[in-house]
Structure 1
Amino acid sequence: MRSTDGGRYDVVVVGAGAAGLACAGDLVAADLRVLLLEADGTVGGRMRTDRVAGFTVDRGFQVFNTSYPQVKRRIDLKALRLRPFTPGVLVHTEDGPLRFTDPSRRLRESRDLLPGRLASGRDLLALSALTARDALAPASVLRRGRDGTTLTALAEAGVSPQLVETFFRPFLSGVFLEDELETSARFFHLVWRSMLRGTLCLPADGIGAVPAQLAARLPADVLRTGNPVTALTGNGVALAGGHEVESRAVVVATGQRVAAGLLSGLRVPDGRTVTTLYHATARPPMTEPVLVVDSHRRFLNTCVLTAVQPRFSADGRALVSTSVLGSPGPATADAVLRALGEVYGTDTGDWELVHRVTVPDALPAMPGPVPLSRSTRFAPGRYVCGDHRATGSLQGALASGARAAREVLDDLRNGRTDMRIVSAS
């Protein structure tokens, strides 16, 4: 099905984030003539890694979940040289740190789940039933369940308001990037399932190694970086400088705001903004590779990244990552640093802020009820994919890109991609 009419492509994919890379890869595998255009100088979208002050620093705190079906299908896990987090979470409370962990993985470390410590006996029964259902049920069953908000789902499962405030709200605020627990209940159950069945890790070269691996599998003539698309035309796309690339179909695989600018009339969800502060210190405040959350909600989460991946430091210093909602001012950043001193039980006066990253639209808002997957078809010959068309996760982005490829292939085979219909309307 490869095009032979000069410089015309079968498909132009706009945006080389996870969704665009998955879509382009599947279309190339179907023997189409594909061009993948990326505005930036490298691939990955929000999954990017920088080198700052001798540290490997992701653009915002990101973890890699090994349980996602699309990850298992597409990623060579061994090549990423993954290092895992300790299963579970440390919760900083008035009574000191309490560990929330899966007894099936770390029975010796689950003493804080004894009744009366982190949760009551009734809460533990409710939590056990919720966990067993989500871990054992097929994902298709969870996707078809009645939707609402995460807060409602926890209440219906019998989880008390006390446990919600002590653990679920502090923890899930960092997962969903919102602290009202308004995110879709069905998505919550799928996320809970993925955490129970998978392992949270960090790649040795940062999260940017994931899209880099996908890009490396594309033929050399498919990907062009540093090529921003300024508009969609009746025959393809227009590039900066006025050059037009012709194609039979165009897939917009950018973030939701750029997608809405290229596709007039496209409705997109709001985005969640998060800021991550990276502090360097001579001595690690904690040697365990564990995620820490705060029951007072002064920040979303924190961890010693170099305890998870020692390769993130070039000179042996420790790197501490701490994330907060929105884009805090200096006063908030100072308050966070004081809170970290309390949480880690150390003096943070000599910690050096080596990097700060604010990521607008880090995740799409998913207030329940919400569809977990939507068609990528926008108009004849025009498609849109990304996590904002599915779920706010790497799984969602890859799955949406895969769906776009399937729908493009189906339409090309059945002659439903005439973009001139769009330009004339």
Structure 2
Amino acid sequence: MTDVLVAGGGLAGLVAARHLAEDGLDVTVFERESTVGGRVHTHREDGFIYDQGFQVVFDSYPAVERELDVDALDLRRFAPGATLARPGERSVIADPLRNPRTATQTVFNREITLGDKLHILRLRRELAGREEADIFDPAGPDRTIEAALADRGFSRAFGQRFVAPFYGGITLDRSLSTDARIFEYTFARLADGSAAVPADGMAAIPEQLARRAREAGARIETGATVESIETAGAGEAATTGEEVSVTVDGETITAGSVVVATDPETAADLTGVETPTEYRGCTTVYASLPSGTPLDTGKRLLLNVEDDRPNHVAPMSAVAPEYAPDGQQLLAATFLGVPAADDETLFEETKDTLSRWYPERSFADLEHRQTDRVPFAQIDQPPGFQSGLPDPDDPDGPVVLAGDYTRWSSIQSALESGRIAADRVTDAS
């Protein structure tokens, strides 16, 4: 009998497996795909690195610092702030406290009022040092990002021109209707650190987690699907010592405990627990351009001030030169949701938008590389959403849930949920 079986080899499942194995338990991870990582996946072809949709890791997330060997990931960091783009005009809003050379560009940015720039500094002071539990305190006000900005005196123009496209990339919600706690926590973490990608692509994160789990003694089997989980009796707690019967590709395996670290829909099917059903997705168009056509972004995101077609363009190879072969640069243009338009139409929209942002440049050599459509990138997170999320202990018997959908959608939550799940299992042993 296996001590613990982990269903799902995404970030949460791999973290849980490592902690459990380090505690001396016999652990096996079953992942239905051919590679680990779940939603964090990277494809490499012809010298280009394509992450599955635009993804970044915040290097100041506490769980990132705790669960990952950040130095070994060889992170490539985006510059703080962004380039605000509209037809024929581009301007920079940055963080002069971290890079004084950007002060003049930021101070004289006409898209943002002087009052808004002062409010940003006040917001930094307000959120400095605040921890996740403090910001996500359920006793705090339930309000949208838009309402939180208004309460702090920000102008509507600031919300629409900067926050909407910037947080459109983080929450996949340009309407600013997401729970303000997510804005506040991620703002605080970005003020302390950077958004980054590993030099070898985002898949380097689960690859490292899998390696560390194996080194701790866990077994990881890919291409293996957990089909069902059966406990002896409903409503019993994990402390009863009850065994669990798990069917994997038609074979029944007995385990002392199970960590279900799958996507929420699969978790609901396996455990009967109600999980979130409202999702947000995104579509990323990858395109290449000869290096002789610089975009001069200074390693910053290009935010679409006017609309979400696309919401933003990330200069991937400017940030991480490893993402493109010599002589080429790689751009990632992200559309919110999963548009009905075909890949070629989305590419042409991207090309047309870049041409309008840069009328002095030619994009005749812009080449479509690939398009990733991700229907489920994160759960919908309106104000107060956390009150409806499942608890890790909600399944019957010695079965525990792990996944960012038990907290809030982020790499921070995925990693943290894996640790929490492991603690619940060991505490019940």
Q: TM-score, normalization: structure 2?
A: 0.89
SS at match of 2:91: strand
Q: What is the CA distance between 1:382 and its match in structure 2?
A: 1.6
What is the identity, as a one-letter code, of the residue corresponding to 2:411?
L
What is the identity, as a one-letter code, of the residue corresponding to 1:71?
V
Q: Deviations over 1:19-75 (max 9, x none)?
A: 101111111111111111111111111111111233111111111211011111121
1:342 corresponds in structure 2 to: 356
1:243 corresponds in structure 2 to: 251
User: Does the CA contact (< 8 Å) of 1:84 and 1:200 recur in 2?
Assistant: yes
From 90, 106, 112, the counterpart of 1:119:
112
Q: Answer yes or no: is 1:55 the counterpart of 2:48.
A: yes
From 300, 305, 326, the counterpart of 2:311:
300
Q: What is the CA distance between 1:94 and its match in structure 2?
A: 5.7
From 169, 179, 196, the counterpart of 1:174:
169
1:383 corresponds in structure 2 to: 400
In the alignment, structure 1 segments of 5+ residues that lack a partner are: 1-7, 413-425
What is the identity, as a one-letter code, of the residue corresponding to 1:303?
A
Q: What is the CA distance between 1:116 and its match in structure 2?
A: 7.0
2:236 corresponds in structure 1 to: none
What is the identity, as a one-letter code, of the residue corresponding to 2:133?
S
User: Does the CA contact (< 8 Å) of 1:40 and 1:227 recur in 2?
Assistant: yes
2:235 corresponds in structure 1 to: none
Q: Deviations over 1:225-261 (max 9, x none)?
A: 1111111123331112x10111011111011122222
What is the identity, as a one-letter code, of the residue corresponding to 2:180?
A
From 410, 420, 426, the counterpart of 1:393:
410
What is the identity, as a one-letter code, of the residue corresponding to 2:375?
P
Runs of 4+ in 1 over 4 A off after TM superposition: none
Q: 1:344 to 1:253 in 2, by over 3 A?
A: farther
Q: 1:311 to 1:326 in 2, by over 3 A?
A: same
2:98 corresponds in structure 1 to: 105
| Fraction of identical pairs, as percent | 31
Q: What is the CA distance between 1:269 and its match in structure 2?
A: 4.2
SS at match of 2:213: coil
CA distance in 1, matches of 2:416, 2:425: 14
Q: Deviations over 1:326-379 (max 9, x none)?
A: 223133442222002222443223211111111121111111112288630122
1:229 corresponds in structure 2 to: 226
From 323, 329, 340, the counterpart of 1:312:
323
CA distance in 1, matches of 2:289, 2:87: 26
User: Does the CA contact (< 8 Å) of 1:376 and 1:383 recur in 2?
Assistant: yes
1:256 corresponds in structure 2 to: 264
SS at match of 1:232: strand
User: Does the CA contact (< 8 Å) of 2:86 and 2:356 recur in 1?
Assistant: no
CA distance in 2, matches of 1:137, 1:17: 28
User: Does the CA contact (< 8 Å) of 1:260 and 1:268 recur in 2?
Assistant: no
User: Does the CA contact (< 8 Å) of 1:375 and 1:403 recur in 2?
Assistant: no
Q: Answer yes or no: is 1:216 the counterpart of 2:191.
A: no
385-394 or 336-345, which moves further after superposition?
336-345
1:189 corresponds in structure 2 to: 184
SS at match of 2:427: helix
Q: TM-score, normalization: structure 1?
A: 0.90
CA distance in 1, matches of 2:358, 2:71: 32
1:415 corresponds in structure 2 to: none
What is the identity, as a one-letter code, of the residue corresponding to 1:260?
A
What is the identity, as a one-letter code, of the residue corresponding to 1:316?
G
352-361 or 262-271, which moves further after superposition?
262-271
CA distance in 2, matches of 1:204, 1:188: 27
Aligned length: 404
Q: Answer yes or no: is 1:282 the counterpart of 2:290.
A: yes
In the alignment, structure 2 segments of 5+ residues that lack a partner are: 232-243
CA distance in 1, matches of 2:318, 2:273: 47
SS at match of 1:379: coil
CA distance in 2, matches of 1:176, 1:101: 20
1:416 corresponds in structure 2 to: none
User: Does the CA contact (< 8 Å) of 2:18 and 2:218 recur in 1?
Assistant: no
1:148 corresponds in structure 2 to: 143
